[in-house]
Amino acid sequence: MLASILGNKPLQSFVVACAALACASGAVAEDNNKSGPYVGGGFGQFDVSIDNLEGVTDTISGLDADDSAWRLFFGWRFNPYLSLETDYIDLGSPRGDFDASGTSGAYTVKLSGFAGYVIGTLPLGIFELFGKGGYYVHDLTIDVDLNNIGPGNGDVLNSDDNGEAWIYGVGAGVTFIDHINVRLEYERMDIEKVEDAYTVWLTGAWRF
């Protein structure tokens, strides 16, 4: 459902959705819950590009795929401007097909792990803008299957590694009845072995 809302241009849709949140801000009361713990979760669309499938062939490059993602998180707001947060993030299993120089096949990328963030927020009444930076400790699995390599067709690459990545993002949110915070986020990750990785999130949290 989220993917259909975002369409083929998630970043542009993200900007439009942020504007919609801004328009909705006049319909609810100002956030009076200035500090304390919060818990929440969210769903998103994860997009990943692979520059080169090392160990297969140099002609297979520029691969791009996406999948649904989800996250659970717990955080603490020290004040309206600064928060710390820890998340469990599962970025799904993006899968793509390729056909290059007589070689065809499919690849799958699986990513999941834990992240910690520092979040800076600019409150504008019940509306807010924020930026975040953190570190993602993850398990990365890349599977590649080739179809046209003669005898022994099948799985030619299975990479399963633990890794770490810087993660950063921006977003906008709105708070309802002092406790319910809804956010739209655009987040990028510097993940080894992939060229480009980003997620568009829709999250909800309860502020105690």
The three-state secondary structure class of 140 is: strand
Other Cβ atoms less than 10 A from the Cβ of 98: the count is 20
Residue 114 pLDDT more than 70?
yes
pLDDT recorded at residue 120: 98
Return the higher-pLDDT residue of 130 and 20.
130
pLDDT recorded at residue 102: 65
pLDDT recorded at residue 4: 46
pLDDT recorded at residue 157: 67
Q: Are 20 and 46 in contact (CB under 8 A)?
A: no
The arithmetic mean of pLDDT across residues 92-106, rounded, is 78
Per residue in 46-68, pLDDT (tens digit) is 998 876 655 554 555 567 889 99
Per residue in 20-35, pLDDT (tens digit) is 554 544 444 455 678 9
Q: Report the Cα–Cα distance between both ends of the chain, in Å, rounded.
A: 29
pTM of the predicted model as reported, rounded to 2 decimal places: 0.78
How many domains does one find in the chain? 1
Task: Provide the residue range defining the domain that includes 157.
Answer: 2-25+32-207
Other Cβ atoms less than 10 A from the Cβ of 189: the count is 23
Q: Which two tokens stand for residue 27?
A: 């319909």
Tell me the sheet residues that pair with 39. Answer: 74, 206
* Pairwise CA distance, residues 111 & 15, whole Å: 26
> 192: part of which helix (H) or strand (E)?
none
Return the higher-pLDDT residue of 141 and 61.
141
How far, in whole angstroms, is CA 120 from its chain's centroid?
A: 18
Residue 198 pLDDT more than 60?
yes
The arithmetic mean of pLDDT across residues 88-117, rounded, is 86
Buried b (16+ CB within 10 A) or exposed e, 41-72: ebbbbbbbbbeebeebbeebeebebbbbbbbe
The arithmetic mean of pLDDT across residues 87-113, rounded, is 85
pLDDT recorded at residue 16: 55
Mean pLDDT (the chain, rounded) = 81
Per residue in 150-197, pLDDT (tens digit) is 444 555 667 788 889 999 999 999 999 989 999 999 999 998 777 789
**CATH assignment of the domain containing 114:** 2.40.160.20
pLDDT recorded at residue 111: 92
Q: Which two tokens stand for residue 62?
A: 């520029």
pLDDT recorded at residue 5: 45
Q: Which of 56, 68, 47 is nearest to 105 (CA)?
A: 56
Q: Which two tokens stand for residue 33?
A: 């819950």
pLDDT recorded at residue 101: 64
pLDDT recorded at residue 42: 98
The three-state secondary structure class of 194 is: coil
pLDDT recorded at residue 10: 54
